Amino acid sequence: MKQIYLDNAATTSIRPEVIERMVEVLNDNYGNASSTHSFGRSSKALLEQCRKNIALYFNVSASEIVFTSGGTEADNLALRSAVRDLGVTEIITSKIEHHAVLHTAEQLQNEYNIALKFVNIDACGQVDYEHLEELLQSGNKALVSLMHINNEVGNILNLSRVAQLCKKYKAMFHTDTVQSVGHYKIDLKEVSIDFLAASAHKFHGPKGVGFCYIRKDSGLKPLIFGGEQERGYRAGTESIHNIIGMDEALKIAYANLETEKEFVSGLKTYFIQEIKKHLPKASFNGGCDDAINSTYTLVNVCLPIAPEKAPMLQFQLDLKGIACSKGSACQSGSNQSSHVLTEILNDDQLRRPSVRFSFSIYNTKEELDYVISILKEFVNS
C-alpha cells in the first residue's frame, strides 16, 4: 500500500542531515551545559553557538533567544508573564488562533480578571485591521497576540501593519510564528515584535524543542523556576541534541529557502488545479487558493460530500495510506468541529467534510495524483 504524508503542518519528518548531526552530539557531547568541567563546557559552547546562529536569522541579539520545549511553552511564557509581571490588563487576539494562545488567554482572564477582546475577521479569516485599531484605543495596557500564519487555513497576517498599530498605541505584540519560521524570513529589526514563538518540528527538525524571542529589556519573567539556565528565563537542563537539531534544520531551511519554496509552491498550485478540474464543486477554506494572502505550504478543502457520508472520509483516506488532517492535528482526536472553520464557514459548509493537506519537499506530483484519484472515487461513489 502507498504511504503518502500530507500532514506537514502538524509535523514534518526530520531531515537526514539533522538526524546525523543529532546522533553525533548524542554520542560526543552528552555533558550537562551547566557543569564546569570539560564535558559541560563543550556542551555549553555548542548551546551558545546555536543561540547565536538562530539570532542571526532574525537579526536580533543572541541574548533575546530563549530555548523552550516548543511553541506552546513559548506562547504561555509570553502571555502569562505579560499579564502577571508586565501590567498588561487587556489581551487582544482572534477567535481563530491556536489553542496554545486561546486557552492561555482564557485562563489568564479567569485568574487575573483581564479584559479579553477579539478582533473581527472576514469570511476568509483575515484580520480586520481597522477594528484592531479601534480596540487598541481603549487606553488599557494591552498585549496583541495574533499568529503570523494560521495553522488550519494558511492565512498570512501583515506583521508590519500590526506592529505599527501596536507601536502607535503603546501596546505589546506577541506572534505565534510556528507555521512560518523556516518557511519565511522575519527581520525583527524591521518589524517591531516583542515576543515570538517557534517550534523546530515544523521545519524538519526534532519535536520537543523550540524558542521564544523576547525583546531585550521587556521585563518578562520566567514561567518555569529552578536553576539559572537560559539566563533565568527557563529553568531545566537544556536538551543539547534537540537544540543542535533545531539549529541544523533552520540552517538548511534558510540556505535552501527560495528553491524549496518554489518547489512546494508548485505542488500546492498543481493540487489546487487538479481539485478544481476533477472536483469542481469543492471549495477552498479561508482563501487558501490565494497565492498572495495564503501560505504556500497548505490547502484546506471543503469537499462536496453528503453529511451522512462525511464521517467515513478520514478513515478511507487513512485506509488508502494518505495522512492528512481534519481541521488541525490538535483537533484530530476530537469529534468537535474545528474552532477555526466554525468561525468562517456557514452551516451548510460545516456539514460537509473539510480536509487540510500540507506539503513538503518530500512530496511529489505523482503522490498528489493518487490523492486526487482517491478523493474522486470517494466523492463519486
Instruction: Name all contacts of 26-29 with Cβ < 8 Å and 24+ positions apart.
Output: 26/241, 29/240, 29/241, 29/244
Q: What are phi and psi of 296, to 5 degrees?
A: -80, 0
What does the alpha-carbon distance between residue 163 and residue 194 come to, in Å, rounded to a whole number? 9
Ramachandran class of 206: left when φ > 0, alpha when ψ lies in -120 to 50, beta otherwise: beta
Exposure on the CB side of residue 172, measured as CA atoms within 13 A: 26
SS3 316: helix
What does the alpha-carbon distance between residue 82 and residue 295 come to, in Å, rounded to a whole number? 29
Per-residue CA distances from 304 to 67, 308, 310, 349, 363 (Å): 44, 12, 9, 9, 25
DSSP letter at 187 equals -
330 is catalytic: yes
Ramachandran class of 204: left when φ > 0, alpha when ψ lies in -120 to 50, beta otherwise: left
- Helical H runs in 129-168? 129-136, 159-168
What does the alpha-carbon distance between residue 231 and residue 17 come to, in Å, rounded to a whole number? 30
What does the alpha-carbon distance between residue 374 and residue 6 come to, in Å, rounded to a whole number? 14
Look up cell 503603546; give the residue. Answer: 170
DSSP H or E segment with residue 137: none
What does the alpha-carbon distance between residue 168 and residue 191 come to, in Å, rounded to a whole number? 13
Given a contact cutoff of 8 angstroms between Cβ atoms, the answer to whether 246 and 212 are in contact is no
**Given 124, 166, 302, 330, which residue is catalytic?**
330
What does the alpha-carbon distance between residue 177 and residue 98 come to, in Å, rounded to a whole number? 11
Q: Which residues are catalytic?
A: 330
